[in-house]
């Protein structure tokens, strides 16, 4: 008799660090009971950055219509359960364990990846909760990502920039082609950024998909304290900005709104305002303490770090800015470190406890090239505590570099950040 495993034992038994792209395995499992009865409409969210925020916006908007929504995101910051949410509430350990057991029985001798287990558990739990919509975040790329094995009624591609180049390609167009594969024939697809890559426009023509691009088919006009939105006959003026900081969150919210409007789901001004107020997502330019101010952000690639730098510049402090930072070695830090270096007075860097983490000496050399004041640590908590102790009340600390950075720095303090 097989021993019963709790959630942590299940997760320990899966290969959490191996990236194994491909649709063959998951397609075979999806053709088996209990997955054959999953019929809920799916909205797929891909792109380089902003996926989690866009999933959140889409889910919150749908909930304004009294719809039940299952949302799947990755990775998580503290708890695996964060990945699988029903109407904003994380799935329980018991629900996930039961889903894993069902997956294990259905898969037979098919070896599944960590991400495939997560996705299959999510759709099974969502189906059991009888959600009205599933909103699923693509894990990596699009064409060969497990999410792409599922049918969808609409797709959102938030942005395309350099990231995961080892798997997706070394240039924007190659990466865009991978992400464009989440389109479905005749279905709406929203591109939530400027300068849409040709690979996306060409794929839309090929699939006869209705492509809507930010500032073309739908538009936003951002003011100091509000923004205007226009798509076809739908116009909202003087909307409050999303509760999540950063003007790029207007783009993420607008992409979600456009997608749902294109599906024939209409919203009143009150419903849009209510959704904007509810926009909450841990680890996105999130202030968790004042005096000194502590900000946490999961920025970890060229585009997201550039956005973080722009926010820091637009919101100066009278004191110094200290960064508690580490990063994965495949993130090509040398290509974007210069964009945020002018906003940092003192770097507190550390060695992450991960196989994929950049070596401390290598990170030290890259930051030294930017002429920043630098302190090194072999512990995330030591780096953070030293940054706190070195800061006056008018200083600020920005903790960033990845989801893993936030996990290691604030391990055991999840309630400080994760207000789900």
In the chain, where the domains are located: 7-278, 286-417
Contacts of 340 (CB under 8 A, 6+ apart): 305, 306, 308, 309, 312, 323
pLDDT at 420: 35
3-state SS class at 240: strand
pLDDT at 21: 77
pLDDT at 167: 52
Cβ atoms of 67 and 61 closer than 8 Å = no
pLDDT at 18: 64
pLDDT at 413: 61
pLDDT at 287: 93
Cβ atoms of 58 and 43 closer than 8 Å = yes
C-alpha distances out from residue 55 to 33, 34, 74, 87, 126, Å: 28, 25, 11, 12, 15
Cβ atoms of 410 and 417 closer than 8 Å = yes
User: How far apart, in whole angstroms, are the C-alpha atoms of residue 152 and residue 301?
Assistant: 28
Task: Write out the two tokens for 236.
Answer: 């909202």
Q: List, in sequence order, the alpha helices (H) in 169-229.
A: 172-180, 198-207
Q: DSSP secondary-structure letter at 318? A: S
pLDDT at 1: 41
Q: DSSP secondary-structure letter at 37? A: G
Which fold would CATH assign to domain 7-278? 3.40.1190
How far from chain centre, in Å, is Cα 384?
A: 24
User: How far apart, in whole angstroms, are the C-alpha atoms of residue 40 and residue 70?
Assistant: 10
Task: Write out the two tokens for 338.
Answer: 């210069």
C-alpha distances out from residue 12 to 8, 257, 353, Å: 6, 38, 16
Examine domains 7-278 and 286-417 and report if their fold is the same. no
For helices 93-107 and 114-128, what crossing angle results, to 10°?
110
Q: What stretches in the chain show pLDDT beneath 50?
A: 1, 420
Summarised one tens digit per residue, pLDDT across range 115-155 is 999 999 999 999 999 999 999 999 887 889 999 999 999 99
**CATH superfamily, region 286-417:** Mur ligase, C-terminal domain (3.90.190.20)
Nearest to 7 by CA among 155, 108, 125: 125
360 CB-side CA count, 13 A: 15
Nearest to 106 by CA among 26, 160, 177: 26
Cβ atoms of 363 and 349 closer than 8 Å = yes
CB under 8 Å, gap of 24 or more: what pairs does 262-268 form?
A: 262/154, 262/188, 262/190, 262/210, 262/212, 263/153, 263/154, 263/188, 265/61, 265/62, 265/65, 266/234, 267/61, 267/64, 267/65
pLDDT at 335: 86
C-alpha distances out from residue 355 to 90, 327, 385, 406, 416, Å: 28, 11, 24, 17, 27
DSSP string, 7-27: HHHHHHHS-SS-----SHHHH
User: How far apart, in whole angstroms, are the C-alpha atoms of residue 179 and residue 159?
Assistant: 9
């Amino acid at each position: 008799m097989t021993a019963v495993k709790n959630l942590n034992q299940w997760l320990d038994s899966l290969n959490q660090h191996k990236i194994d792209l491909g649709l063959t395995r998951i397609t075979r499992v999806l053709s088996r009971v209990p997955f054959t009865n999953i019929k809920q409409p799916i909205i797929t969210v891909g792109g380089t950055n902003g996926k989690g925020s866009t999933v959140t916006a889409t889910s919150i908007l749908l909930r304004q219509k009294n719809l039940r929504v299952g949302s799947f995101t990755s990775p998580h910051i503290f708890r695996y359960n964060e990945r699988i949410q029903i109407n904003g509430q994380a799935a329980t350990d018991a629900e996930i364990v039961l889903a894993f057991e069902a997956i294990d029985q259905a898969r037979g001798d098919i070896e599944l990846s960590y991400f495939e287990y997560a996705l299959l558990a999510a759709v099974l739990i969502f189906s059991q909760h009888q959600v009205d919509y599933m909103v699923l975040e693509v894990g990596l790329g699009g064409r060969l990502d497990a999410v792409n094995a599922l049918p969808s009624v609409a797709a959102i591609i938030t942005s395309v920039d350099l990231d995961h180049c080892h798997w997706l390609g070394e240039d924007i167009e190659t990466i865009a082609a991978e992400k464009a594969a989440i389109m479905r024939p005749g279905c709406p697809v929203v591109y939530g950024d400027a300068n849409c890559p040709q690979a996306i426009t060409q794929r839309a023509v090929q699939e006869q998909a209705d492509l809507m691009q930010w500032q073309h088919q739908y538009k936003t006009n951002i003011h100091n304290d509000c923004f205007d939105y226009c798509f076809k006959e739908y116009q909202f003026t003087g909307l409050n900005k999303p509760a999540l900081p950063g003007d790029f969150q207007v783009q993420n919210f607008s992409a979600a709104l456009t997608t749902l409007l294109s599906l024939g789901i209409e919203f009143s001004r009150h419903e849009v305002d209510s959704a904007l107020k509810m926009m909450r997502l841990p680890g996105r330019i999130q202030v968790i303490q004042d005096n000194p101010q502590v900000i946490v952000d999961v920025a970890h690639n060229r585009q997201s770090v550039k956005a973080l730098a722009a926010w820091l510049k637009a919101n100066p402090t009278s004191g110094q800015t200290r960064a508690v930072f580490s990063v994965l070695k495949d993130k090509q830090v040398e290509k974007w470190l210069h964009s945020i270096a002018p906003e940092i007075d003192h770097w507190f860097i550390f060695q992450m406890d991960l196989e994929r983490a950049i070596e401390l000496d290598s990170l030290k050399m890259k930051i030294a090239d930017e002429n920043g004041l630098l302190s090194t640590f072999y512990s995330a908590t030591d780096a953070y505590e030293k940054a706190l102790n070195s800061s006056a009340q008018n200083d600020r600390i920005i903790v960033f570099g990845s989801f893993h950075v936030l996990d290691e720095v604030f391990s055991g303090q999840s309630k400080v950040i994760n207000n789900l």
